[in-house]
Amino acid sequence: MELLQAEDSTLVRNYMNGDEASLEVLINRHNQRISSFIYSKVFDKEITEDIFQDTFIKVIRTLKRGKYNEEGKFLPWVIRIAHNLVIDHYRKSNRMPRYESGPDYSIFAILQDDNLNAEKQLIQEQIQSDIGSMIRELPEEQQVVIQMRMFRDMSFKEIADSTGVSINTALGRMRYALINLRKMIEENQIVLTN
């Protein structure tokens, strides 16, 4: 009974410490939200079931390997995994979703569907948070160049003057920062699209 009222972060911690029942509570708690999110993208109940299953297999593997580090943000994290798997599904099947009017689907439903906008917002926030975390993993001199170039829109001349290095060095730091970010994106299987 206590488990049912526990917060996601507590359940995640319990599960990572070996309590399997906590996972069941998490799955049941978020089943409808995650399944409906997937279904709103693929419009097929069997594919939804498959993607839901693959999503939680990834969740289980990540948690059991101790790789989860997004305290208090379990649902956005799971939705982002589901979102990435939906994209994989469309890449594999080589076709993009179509919006059609019909008995199963109405274009007006998408336009008025605040829940879907909320999901997109969650994903967007999650992506921004991921990028921020990845930038913080970079060596300090690369972080500085990224911050100045991407967020303060400074030229490489200004960056070079401001950090006391040559333009070539600033360019080199930017290049290595981007290489490192790409590597992190690949390693973490992050899809930066919404």
Partner 1 sequence: MEDNYYCTQGQQELVSAKPETIRFLMDFSRSYKVERIGGMEFEQNLN
Q: Which of 14, 25, 41, 52 binds partner 1 (CB under 8 A)?
A: 52
Helices and strands of the chain, counted as H and E runs: 10, 0
Q: Does 57 bind partner 1 (CB under 8 A)?
A: yes
How far is residue 81's CA from residue 95's CA, in Å, rounded to a whole number?
Answer: 20
| Residues within window 123-182 making contact with partner 1, judged by CB under 8 A | none
Q: What are the structure tokens assigned to 21, written together? A: 């029942």
Q: Which of 7, 9, 49, 128 binds partner 1 (CB under 8 A)?
A: 49
- Find the shortest distance in angstroms from Cβ 83 to partner 1: 16
Q: In terms of CB distance, is 82 or 138 closer to partner 1?
A: 82
Q: What is the contact surface with partner 1 in residues (CB under 8 A)?
A: 20, 23-24, 27-28, 31-32, 35-36, 38-40, 45, 48-49, 52-53, 56-57, 60-61, 64-66, 104, 106, 108-109, 112-113, 115-116
